[in-house]
């Protein structure tokens, strides 16, 4: 009986040991051998490029070694591989998404940027095909760094501005069109289009009588069609307009630029004549007015009448300027009131400093206003000793208003008379000084101005 109990007890112990071994084996397999197997399977799958299976195995490996980190790497590699496939298929937006999910695996970040550029480049190409240059430009700019995106952006930018310029030209907004064509230089025929815009802008300004602007535009038209001829015509029309408005000096520049166009030369000479009249040089004014041909007439200004009247006033050009004394007789007489006996001193040698200056201004009514100043010597006292009786210089001013001929005689004041005869001027002065009951003095001066400088 005891022997049977002993056998049963041994069997129990063996059974317990077997159960323990089995449990230990199960635990060992589940905690070590299975994770290790999964880990190795994960590595094999990774090496074979099956990143999805690799990630699964590494996750199933649990905490075995660095299985968790390798699961993440396998996941990233899987997204990277998908991104590469999408990129090859030119599915760039999907590629960008997968590269981003790759979380920096290998060169995923750089490739994500490149895929994004490729995505914008592809969009730009589509916009370009549809001649949607505005959107194409935006996309090319976002794609710079991919293929020839930078060059395409530059070319598309020109095309964009060219397209805008064409729209402005169609609407006859020439200045805006020029700005856009200038931004598109190098694209298509933009350079010729600029010339065309300047030409038609000049035509518009010329039709609006805005000749100064027209001139500037035709100058920039650079020989487009008949722009050179239009430039000459605009210079002529503007010069004529200035002439009629009596801006004679300014008109000369444009009339000279007009060359032989219509009556430009005649107007130019008339303008120069008026310029000299303004500076009171009648002689020079006549010189230019006499170059004006008889067929030179314009509405708003009687050129031929002006020319004829100036010739009638030629005599005034002969007297304008400074005249020098050519002879003089300057005296003082001391007269005794009782019986008229007298004594005197005189100067008959010409004093060269005596002069007569005359200025002539032609008025708008073709009359002349003459102003002058005459210098001459007079005595102003008497002495029996000549050394105490000296003559001194004096002056008188005069004016002839709105005259058409030279007065023969002018009373400047009560003592002084100016006369003109045979092309010379003469001043006559006489003044009496009743300085005592017994004597009186008579001061006289006669000076002839016969030489004009």
Angle at which helix 211-220 crosses helix 227-244, to 10 degrees, equals: 160
Tokens of 397: 């001013």
- Neighbour-count burial for 171-189, b at 16+ CB within 10 Å, e otherwise: eebbeebbebbebbeebee
Beta strands in 29-170 (DSSP E): none
Tokens of 190: 């933009």
Question: pTM for the full model?
Answer: 0.69
Closest CA to 210 of 188, 241, 249: 241
The residue to which tokens 């995505």 are assigned? 119
Given pLDDT bands bounded at 50, 70 and 90, which one contains residue 27? Answer: very low
Angle at which helix 282-289 crosses helix 303-312, to 10 degrees, equals: 130
Given pLDDT bands bounded at 50, 70 and 90, which one contains residue 366? Answer: confident
> Given a cut of 60, is residue 24 above it in pLDDT?
no
Q: Give residue 2's pLDDT.
A: 62
Q: How many H helices and E strands in the chain?
A: 17, 9
Rounded average pLDDT over 24-32: 47
Q: pLDDT of 124-152, one tens digit each?
A: 999 999 999 999 999 999 999 999 999 99
Looking at the chain, the whole-number percentage of residues with pLDDT higher than 90 is 81
Given pLDDT bands bounded at 50, 70 and 90, which one contains residue 364? Answer: confident
Q: Give residue 30's pLDDT.
A: 46
**What is the DSSP track for 274-308?**
HHHHHTT-HHHHHHHHTTS-TT--BTTB-HHHHHH
Q: pLDDT of 68-125, one tens digit each?
A: 999 999 999 999 999 999 999 999 999 999 999 999 999 999 999 999 999 999 999 9
Rounded average pLDDT over 279-293: 90
H helices present in 48-105, as ranges: 51-60, 67-88, 92-101
Could you tell me if 418 and 319 are in contact, meaning their C-beta atoms sit under 8 angstroms apart? no
Q: Could you give the CA distance from residue 433 to residue 441 in angstroms, rounded to a whole number? A: 5
- Cα dihedral 293, 294, 300, 305, rounded to 10, equals 110
Q: Could you give the CA distance from residue 413 to residue 434 in angstroms, rounded to a whole number? A: 19
H or E element that contains 417: strand 416-421
Lowest mean pLDDT segment, chosen from 29-33, 208-212, 220-224, 427-431: 29-33
> Given a cut of 50, is residue 28 above it in pLDDT?
no
Mean pLDDT computed over every residue of the chain: 92
Q: Name every residue whose Cβ is closer than 8 Å to that of residue 258 and which is 6 or more positions away in sequence.
A: 232, 233, 235, 236, 239, 264
């Amino acid at each position: 009986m005891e022997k049977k109990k002993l056998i049963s007890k041994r069997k129990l112990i063996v059974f317990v040991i077997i159960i323990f071994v089995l449990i230990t084996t199960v635990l060992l397999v589940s905690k070590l051998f299975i994770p290790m197997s999964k880990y190795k399977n994960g590595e094999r799958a990774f090496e074979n490029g099956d990143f999805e299976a690799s990630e699964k195995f590494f996750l199933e490996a649990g905490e075995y070694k660095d299985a968790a980190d390798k699961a993440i790497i396998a996941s990233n590699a899987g997204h990277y591989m998908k991104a590469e496939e999408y990129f090859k298929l030119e599915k760039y937006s999907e590629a960008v998404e997968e590269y981003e999910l790759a979380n920096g695996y290998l060169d995923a970040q750089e490739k994500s940027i490149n895929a994004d550029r490729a995505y914008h480049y592809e969009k730009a190409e589509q916009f370009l095909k549809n001649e949607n240059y505005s959107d194409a430009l935006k996309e090319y700019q976002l794609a710079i760094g991919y293929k020839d995106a930078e060059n395409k952006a530059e070319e598309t930018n020109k095309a964009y501005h060219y397209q805008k310029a064409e729209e402005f030209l169609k609407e006859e907004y020439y200045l805006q069109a020029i700005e856009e064509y200038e931004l598109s230089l190098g694209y298509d025929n933009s350079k010729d289009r600029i010339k065309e815009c300047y030409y038609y802008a000049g035509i518009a300004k010329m039709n609006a009588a805005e000749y100064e602007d027209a001139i500037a535009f035709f100058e920039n038209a650079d020989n487009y069609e008949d722009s050179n001829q239009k430039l000459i015509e605009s210079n002529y029309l503007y010069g004529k307009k200035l002439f009629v408005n009596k801006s004679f000096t300014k008109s000369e520049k444009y009339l000279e630029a007009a060359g032989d166009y219509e009556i430009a030369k005649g107007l130019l000479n008339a303008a120069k004549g008026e310029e000299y009249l303004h500076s009171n040089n009648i002689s020079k004014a006549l010189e230019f007015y006499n170059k004006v041909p008889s067929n030179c007439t314009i509405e708003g200004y009687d050129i031929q009448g002006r020319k004829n009247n100036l010739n009638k006033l030629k005599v005034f050009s002969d007297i304008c300027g400074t005249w020098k004394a050519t002879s003089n007789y300057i005296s003082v007489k001391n007269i005794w009131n009782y019986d008229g006996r007298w004594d005197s001193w005189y100067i008959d040698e010409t004093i060269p400093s005596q002069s007569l200056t005359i200025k002539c201004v032609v008025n708008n009514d073709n009359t002349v206003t003459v102003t002058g100043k005459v210098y001459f010597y007079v005595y102003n006292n008497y002495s029996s000793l000549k050394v105490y009786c000296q003559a001194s210089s004096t002056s008188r001013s005069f004016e002839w208003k709105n005259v058409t001929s030279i007065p023969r005689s002018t009373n400047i004041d009560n003592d002084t008379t100016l006369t003109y005869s045979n092309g010379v001027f003469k001043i006559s002065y006489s003044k009496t000084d009743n300085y005592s009951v017994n004597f009186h003095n008579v001061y006289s001066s006669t000076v002839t101005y016969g030489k004009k400088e």
